[in-house]
Amino acid sequence: SPEPVPTAAASAPDLGARLDDLRREYAALQARGLSLDLTRGKPSAEQLDLSDALLALPGEGVHTAEGGTDTRNYGGLAGLPELRRIFAELLGVPVEQLLAQGNASLTLMYDTVVQALLFGVPGSERPWSREEQVTFICPVPGYDRHFAVCEELGIRMVTVPMTPDGPDAEAVAALVADDPSIKGLWTVPTYGNPDGSVVSEAVARRLVSMPTAAPDFRIFWDNAYAVHHLTEHEAKSANAIDLAAEAGNPDRVLMFASTSKITFAGSGVAFFASSPANVSWFTKHLAIRSIGPDKVNHLRHAMFFGDADGVRAHMRKHREILAPKFSAVTSILESRLGGAGVAAWTDPDGGYFVSVDVVPGTASRVVTLAKEAGIALTPAGATFPYGRDPQDRNIRLAPSMPPLEEVQVAMDGVATCILLAAAEAATA
Ligand code: PLP
């Protein structure tokens, strides 16, 4: 099925009888002396090669953008209109409400939170840093770097569970209704990191219309994987900015996106989109910290894509490279662990991750076993605030970077580690 399999609690079965066999299997795995890495969601070199034409663009003597702008010079704070038009169409936002900026959407998110702390956002009674406490809701499992921003800036984090339709909207609504310290909610609406979930229209409507005790509550709508499909079933993100305006909360949604997993992860273009009031708030502060973004990079991206269909066609090339790696992960998990009752995993239609829930209490053991067999996994707990998974059961797998054969070998090894950790727990 193209739908993500919901991560469910796995139960420790009676694997005790197999403990000796599994120990032997694990020893054989260790003896192979592997050195494999499934830790971070980076594009592979083969994917980066898809965008190599960028390195020759815009080309010597080519620097004039639409309207005669000399891209080499200062200015153009909102970013190049021809590139903004392409991404406005893909992200479903009006071009005037979309800014094209530097190479990292994470920087835009960080800046947004810092600016909110220093100055407040439209509708704030005071800068967030003058509040006794600022709290963000963090759906779990989630993206470690969202949590790191909160941790560094002293923002308290409360968790709600993820569902296959996005954050548990009723749990979110109950929290924000009573607690005025709750100023933010992180969400990755399309192909969530790590669970691959897609925020449904119903969940989006609930999140943008629920009453909030804080008058300046914001949803950080991190649309990092909006066009990153792995199957022909191309999920369409709910149009949260429009829905929020319809619901009478036009300033609630801040959208972020980038070409990090479209062109070059290190030299792409990041985007910020929101209501007119939020865009002018963000721009006002942006104007103090920059005279303008890298418009040469914007021009080269606009030339490379041509139009929104150019981006879609380019993403199908990524899909051809990525889809077999994801199929390898899920088919190996199914063949090694299916029916064993030791794990549940997602089968995402897009994005960069597979989320695995193992027997509670064994995730860190699985990661250690894998490490000692030469297979690097994301640290257990990384998908939770402060790196602490209260049930020690979630593991994030990132199969994009290694070649397919390495993904296959690594996943077979990971399956052995999951089984061994479960057997150890069953006999402990
Ligand atoms: N948001 C999510 C959900 C991600 O998974 C990632 C990268 O893994 C990022 C943001 C980082 O984006 P950028 O490269 O634009 O900073």
For the chain, the domains span: 16-47+312-427, 66-307
* pLDDT at site 381: 97
224 CA distance to ligand 1 centroid (A)?
A: 6
* pLDDT at site 263: 98
- Reference 86, options 300, 344, 247, 368; nearest CA is 300
Pocket test for ligand 1, best of 101, 106, 223 (most atoms within 8 A of CB): 106
Would the CB of 274 count as within 6 Å of ligand 1? no
* pLDDT at site 13: 52
Distances (CA, A) of 216 to 31, 32, 158: 57, 56, 18
- Reference 393, options 141, 147, 39; nearest CA is 141
| Cα 173 to Cα 155: distance, rounded to the nearest angstrom | 19
Pocket test for ligand 1, best of 47, 186, 193, 271 (most atoms within 8 A of CB): 193
* pLDDT at site 237: 86
4 is written with which tokens?
């993500």
Pick the CATH number of 66-307 from 3.40.50.150, 3.40.640.10, 3.10.129.10, 3.40.50.720: 3.40.640.10
Nearest Cα residue to atom 4 of ligand 1: 224
Nearest Cα residue to atom 6 of ligand 1: 224
pTM, full prediction: 0.96
Would the CB of 249 count as within 6 Å of ligand 1? no
Q: Ligand 1, closest atom to CA 40?
A: 8
Complete DSSP assignment for 235-282: -----HHHHHHHTT-TTSEEEEEESTTTS-SSS--EEEE--HHHHHHH
With 0-12 / 13-18 / 19 or more C-beta atoms within 10 angstroms meaning exposed / middle / buried, residue 77 is middle
* pLDDT at site 12: 46
194 CA distance to ligand 1 centroid (A)?
A: 11
282 CA distance to ligand 1 centroid (A)?
A: 20
| Cα 127 to Cα 249: distance, rounded to the nearest angstrom | 20
Would the CB of 143 count as within 6 Å of ligand 1? yes
Running along the chain, 428 residues long, what does each successive block of 10 average in pLDDT?
38 74 97 95 97 98 96 98 98 98 98 98 98 98 98 98 97 98 98 97 98 98 98 94 98 98 98 98 98 98 98 98 98 95 96 97 98 97 97 97 97 98 92
Give the ipTM of the model, two decimals please: 0.99
Would the CB of 188 count as within 6 Å of ligand 1? yes
| Cα 42 to Cα 25: distance, rounded to the nearest angstrom | 30
CATH 3.90.950.20 correct for 16-47+312-427: no
